Amino acid sequence: MIPLEEIRQISVVSPSKIVMLVIDGLGGLPDAKTGKTELETAHTHHLDHLAKKGICGLIDPVSPGITPGSGPGHLALFGYDPLGFKIGRGVLEALGVGFELKKGDVAARGNFCTVDDEGLITDRRAGRITTDKCTELCTLLSQVKLKDVRLFVSPVKEHRFSFVLRGNELSAELSDTDPQKTGVAPYAAKHTKIIAKHTAGITNEFISKAKGILAKHRPANMILLRGFSKLPDIPSMRETYKLTPAAIASYPMYKGLAKLVGMKIFNADSGINEELNILAHHYSEHDFFYIHVKEADSAGEDGDFKRKVKVIEQVDSALPQLFNLKPEVIIVTGDHSTPATLKGHSWHPVPILLYSRWCRPDNAEEFSESACVSGGLGRIPATDIMPLAMANALKLIKFGA
Amino acid sequence: MIPLEEIRQISVVSPSKIVMLVIDGLGGLPDAKTGKTELETAHTHHLDHLAKKGICGLIDPVSPGITPGSGPGHLALFGYDPLGFKIGRGVLEALGVGFELKKGDVAARGNFCTVDDEGLITDRRAGRITTDKCTELCTLLSQVKLKDVRLFVSPVKEHRFSFVLRGNELSAELSDTDPQKTGVAPYAAKHTKIIAKHTAGITNEFISKAKGILAKHRPANMILLRGFSKLPDIPSMRETYKLTPAAIASYPMYKGLAKLVGMKIFNADSGINEELNILAHHYSEHDFFYIHVKEADSAGEDGDFKRKVKVIEQVDSALPQLFNLKPEVIIVTGDHSTPATLKGHSWHPVPILLYSRWCRPDNAEEFSESACVSGGLGRIPATDIMPLAMANALKLIKFGA
Three-state SS string across A247-307, please?
EEECCHHHHHHHHHCCCEEEECCCCHHHHHHHHHHCHHHCCEEEEEECHHHHHHHCCCHHH
User: Is A2–B63 a contact, with Cβ atoms under 8 angstroms apart?
Assistant: yes
Q: Which of the residues B1, B66, B92, B366 would you substitute to probe the A interface, choosing the one with the greatest number of A C-beta atoms within 10 Å? A: B66
Exposed, middle or buried, A292 (CB in 10 Å: 0-12/13-18/19+)? Answer: buried
Tens of pLDDT, residue by residue over A213-227, are 999 999 999 999 999
Instruction: Average the pLDDT over A236-252 and give the result.
Output: 96
Q: Does A252 score more than 90 pLDDT? A: no
User: What is the pTM for the complete model shown?
Assistant: 0.91
The chain A residue lying nearest B374, using CA atoms, is: A374
Q: Which of the residues B36, B67, B352 would you substitute to probe the A interface, choosing the one with the greatest number of A C-beta atoms within 10 Å? A: B67
Exposed, middle or buried, A281 (CB in 10 Å: 0-12/13-18/19+)? Answer: exposed
pLDDT at B159: 94
Indicate the pLDDT class of residue B401, thresholds 50, 70 and 90. confident
Tens of pLDDT, residue by residue over A332-377, are 999 999 999 999 999 999 999 999 999 999 999 999 999 999 999 9
User: A275: closest CA among A256, A300, A259, A295?
Assistant: A295
Q: Does A196 score more than 90 pLDDT? A: yes
Q: Does A6 score more than 90 pLDDT? A: yes
The nearest CA of chain A is from the CA of B373 a distance in Å of: 6
Tens of pLDDT, residue by residue over B175-218, are 999 999 999 999 999 999 999 999 999 999 999 999 999 999 99
Q: Do the domains B4-85+234-392 and B91-229 sit in the same CATH topology, yes or no?
A: no
Indicate the pLDDT class of residue A72, thresholds 50, 70 and 90. very high
User: Is B86–A388 a contact, with Cβ atoms under 8 angstroms apart?
Assistant: no
User: Is A2–B369 a contact, with Cβ atoms under 8 angstroms apart?
Assistant: no
Tens of pLDDT, residue by residue over B217-239, are 999 999 999 999 999 999 999 99
pLDDT at B1: 87
Q: How many CB atoms within 10 Å of residue B35?
A: 11
pLDDT > 70 in chain B, percent? 100
Instruction: Average the pLDDT over A297-313 and give the result.
Output: 97
Average pLDDT for chain A:
96
Q: What residues of A are in contact with residue B67 (Cβ under 8 Å)?
A: 391, 396-399
Cα distance between residue B88 and residue B234, in whole Å: 13
Instruction: Average the pLDDT over B56-81 and give the result.
Output: 97
pLDDT at B6: 97
Do the strands A288-293 and A245-249 form a parallel or antiparallel pair, or are they unpaired?
parallel
pLDDT at B252: 87
Please name the residues in contact with B106: beta carbons below 8 A apart, sequence gap of 6 or more: B90, B164, B165, B170, B171, B172, B174, B199, B228, B229, B230
Map B103-131 to HEC letters. CCCEEEEEEEEEECCCCCEEECCCCCCCH
Indicate the pLDDT class of residue B83, thresholds 50, 70 and 90. very high
The nearest CA of chain A is from the CA of B60 a distance in Å of: 11
CATH architecture, domain defined by B4-85+234-392 = 3-Layer(aba) Sandwich (3.40)
User: Is A358–B373 a contact, with Cβ atoms under 8 angstroms apart?
Assistant: no
Cα distance between residue B293 and residue B268, in whole Å: 10
Indicate the pLDDT class of residue A401, thresholds 50, 70 and 90. confident
Instruction: Average the pLDDT over B332-359 and give the result.
Output: 98
Residue A357, CA atoms < 13 Å, CB-side half-sphere: 10
Q: Among partner residues A360, A378, A396, which is closest to B67 by beta-carbon distance? A: A396
Q: Chain A residues within 8 A (CB-CB) of chain B?
A: 1-3, 6, 10, 358, 360-363, 374-380, 384, 386-392, 396-401
The chain B residue lying nearest A389, using CA atoms, is: B65
Instruction: Average the pLDDT over A90-115 and give the result.
Output: 94
The nearest CA of chain B is from the CA of A71 a distance in Å of: 23
Does the ipTM exceed 0.85?
yes
Cα distance between residue A168 and residue A191, in whole Å: 16
Average pLDDT for chain B:
96
User: B78: closest CA among B233, B246, B230?
Assistant: B246
Contact B71, B257 (CB under 8 A): yes
The nearest CA of chain A is from the CA of B24 a distance in Å of: 14
pLDDT > 70 in chain A, percent? 100
Q: Does A210 score more than 90 pLDDT? A: yes
CATH T-level topology, domain B91-229? Alpha-Beta Plaits (3.30.70)
Q: Which of the residues B74, B338, B347, B365 would you substitute to probe the A interface, choosing the one with the greatest number of A C-beta atoms within 10 Å? A: B347
For chain B, domain boundaries = 4-85+234-392, 91-229
Quick check: bond before B339 cis, omega within 30? Answer: no
Q: Does B329 score more than 90 pLDDT? A: yes
Tens of pLDDT, residue by residue over A34-55, are 999 999 999 999 999 999 999 9
Q: Does A114 score more than 80 pLDDT? A: yes
Q: Which 3 state secondary structure label does DSSP give B322?
A: helix
Chain centroid offset of residue A88 CA: 12
Q: Chain B residues within 8 A (CB-CB) of chain A?
A: 29-30, 37, 58, 62-72, 82-83, 86-87, 89, 92-93, 227, 342, 345-348, 369-370, 373-374, 378-379
User: Is A399–B369 a contact, with Cβ atoms under 8 angstroms apart?
Assistant: no
pLDDT at B269: 87
Q: Among partner residues B29, B69, B70, which is closest to A360 by beta-carbon distance? A: B29
User: Is A388–B65 a contact, with Cβ atoms under 8 angstroms apart?
Assistant: yes
pLDDT at A126: 96
pLDDT at A305: 98
Q: Among partner residues A375, A380, A387, which is closest to B66 by beta-carbon distance? A: A387
Q: B338 versus B256: which is more confidently predicted?
A: B338
